[in-house]
Amino acid sequence: MYAFPKLKTIVAAVLFANAVLPPLAFSEETNIDLDRIDVTGILPDRLESVPGSFNVVDEEDLIQRRPFSVREALNNVPGINIVGEDAFVLSPNIGIRGLDPRRTSRTLLLEDGMPLFLAPYGDPSAHYSTPLQRVNRIEVVKGSGQILYGPQTIGGMINFVTKPVPKNGFAGSVQATAGNNDFTGLHANVGYGGDQGGIMFDALQNMGDGIRDNHEFDMQEYTLKGQLNLTDRQTLIAKVGYYKEDSNISETGLGEIDYARDKFQAPSGKNDSFKQERKTLQLQHIFKFDETAKLSTQAYYSDTYRSSFRQTDAPGGFDEADNATGVTVLERCPGDDTATEANAETCGGRHRPRSYQYYGFEPRLDFQHNLFGIQSDAVLGFRIHNEDIKRRQFRGNDARAQSLSFLKANAERAGIPGAVADFREDIRIDVEAKSYYAQNTFYVGDWSLTPGVRVE
């Protein structure tokens, strides 16, 4: 059991000045209806108040391009680098402006303003991103406008805005996809809505053999979204989701000689696995005082369990460059450790079962004012966020270790003679985070000046 010291308070402040371009220069952005309550983004309603660099991949662009994954959806956004790991980008690696893209740990991923990481503070790793079949548009902030969001916004922020519920009676669609490597995809959507609100259900399944041998994957997601228009100025939106992944993709690479022999091989792929189960709940209340002020309040909850099994960790000895062989060996083997499918059946490995729970509450006020006689847009908000994380690791040295239940039942602490399995890691992390932020944009002639502050 490890103890972690409390994080110190972090204060961030920005001051950004930029020229407000003529209205025609913003024609592409202003066509996006940011005032529609049923498609709730988190960029300020007036895009001129966003300091620094930002991009919006809108619904029209997504329909015209029909990207296969988030990599294709964002590859035209300047400054974004997405490193592929599997064909469907099950675990996105997104970097902005040269930052390490590994598990998108320096770029905050959101869905309708709710964090998508396993744990935004305690384990900021992306093993999930919103399927594009449910996305209405994607908001990307790379400049100082990221001060309104957090944590992990050193690179920036990416928010997936989901599609609204129907407004004019019944609506639905079915989309089937097929490709090489036995890829198949099915998405079904059905909903009903009217003046008082509506409800919508999405079901999605994607499966296939992957790019490399023994890299099968199967992911399923079910989402229910509802909207209730309490009055002409108040709207309540609720969304509940369930996601499940079962894949044989476990970050196992190849050495240089391995790759030259067969770049598609994955000798331990039949045994390597990554399993994930994710349950989420999000509630949003939007109250428009008038055309100049809006209070948005959200509460969210996420419960994720993920477990991986891996039989190699350093393909070609890359972790020890001076001793690199270019040939991958299997770990924890009773006999021959050469990386072949036959040898993998006799070897052990490491299991990493981990669970993550977090919840949060965030009110945010957007309003216009004329303090000091200067036209201004202001944003004020705070967030309370809590996390409960359990990370464990088990290792074993023969084929019995391929079973997590065996390791749990027989694991002994490392260093005890005769141990058939090692209980190598037991980390518990509790996080309490409070965030406060404020931003004001002053419009002076053809210029805007935006000071802002964020305290974590």
Instruction: Output the pLDDT for position 132.
Output: 96
Residue with tokens 């988190």: 42
* Residue 263, phi-psi category: left (phi > 0), alpha (psi -120 to 50), beta (remainder): alpha
Average pLDDT value for residue range 91-98: 92
> Rounded to 5 degrees, what are φ and ψ at 245?
-130, 135
Instruction: Output the pLDDT for position 451.
Output: 94
Q: Are 87 and 137 in contact (CB under 8 A)?
A: no
Instruction: Output the pLDDT for position 84.
Output: 80
Average pLDDT value for residue range 95-120: 95
Instruction: Determine the 3-state secondary structure of 88 from DSSP.
Output: coil
Residue 37 above 60 pLDDT? no
Average pLDDT value for residue range 45-53: 78
Instruction: Output the pLDDT for position 427.
Output: 97
Residue 62 above 80 pLDDT? yes
Residue 86 above 50 pLDDT? yes
Residue 20 above 60 pLDDT? no
CA of residue 73 relative to chain centroid, distance? 14
| Architecture of the 11-455 domain | Beta Barrel (2.40)
Kindly list the distances between the CA atom of residue 53 and the CA atoms of 49, 102, 158, 214, in Å, as whole numbers in the listed order: 11, 22, 12, 42
Instruction: Output the pLDDT for position 377.
Output: 95
Least confident of 236-240, 324-328, 354-358, 446-450: 324-328
Neighbours of 289 (CB within 10 A): 11
Could you give the CA distance from residue 37 to residue 205 in angstroms, rounded to a whole number? Answer: 29
Instruction: Output the pLDDT for position 33.
Output: 39
Average pLDDT value for residue range 34-43: 52
| Bigger pLDDT: 135 vs 44 | 135
Least confident of 105-109, 135-139, 142-146: 142-146
Average pLDDT value for the chain: 87
Residue 93 above 50 pLDDT? yes
Task: For residue 35, give the amino acid letter.
Answer: D
Contacts of 3 (CB under 8 A, 6+ apart): none
Q: Are 62 and 75 in contact (CB under 8 A)?
A: no
Element (H, E) at 15: strand 11-19
Average pLDDT value for residue range 183-198: 97
Instruction: Output the pLDDT for position 24.
Output: 33
Least confident of 35-39, 100-104, 127-131, 436-440: 35-39
Least confident of 82-91, 107-116, 368-377: 82-91
Instruction: Output the pLDDT for position 48.
Output: 73
| Bigger pLDDT: 144 vs 415 | 144
Instruction: Output the pLDDT for position 321.
Output: 58
Average pLDDT value for residue range 167-190: 95
Beta strands in 230-375 (DSSP E): 234-247, 273-290, 293-310, 349-369
Element (H, E) at 434: strand 421-444
Least confident of 5-14, 159-168, 429-438: 5-14
* CA angle at 156 for the pair 151 and 159, rounded to the nearest 5°: 85
Chain segment 311-335, per-residue pLDDT in tens? 987 766 655 556 677 888 888 898 8
- Count of CA atoms in the C-beta half-sphere (13 A) of 86: 28
Q: Are 101 and 159 in contact (CB under 8 A)?
A: no
Q: Are 447 and 18 in contact (CB under 8 A)?
A: yes
| 241's tokens | 């989701």
